[in-house]
Amino acid sequence: MDKLNDELFEGEKMNSVIQQKHKELIELIYAYDYYVRIFNQVKEKCPVDENDANSVTSFWNDFWFALPYSPAIHRPPFNQICDIAEGNYLNEQSYETEDLKPF
């Protein structure tokens, strides 16, 4: 029973991290005016369930692939988008969004 409780706690903890990273990245998209039109189009076409890691990863992956093929995309928050699109948001070495607050 303890193992099951531990697994449930870890799942809830993971969902909390996913939700936090997802929300922080949305704030950065708007704060940096980072391809907001494309972001809004993807958001309309690909609804995301913030409680599902696969859904969050899939959403950001869709946004990542919708970005233009241009060196201009390599500016904040590009690295965070790559991390979450690849499912690296739980990696301790992933980029911290706190370091990129624009104001």
**pLDDT tens figures, 42-80:** 999 988 998 888 888 899 999 999 999 999 999 999 999
What are the angstrom distances between the C-alpha of 84 and each of 5, 7, 68, 76?
Answer: 27, 22, 18, 14
With 0.75 as the threshold, say if the pTM is over it.
no
Indicate the number of domains in the chain: 1
| Residue numbers of the domain that contains 40 | 2-100
pLDDT of residue 9: 46
Tens of pLDDT, residues 8-45 = 445 566 677 788 889 999 999 999 999 999 999 999 99
Which is it for the CA torsion 75, 84, 24, 33, positive or negative? positive
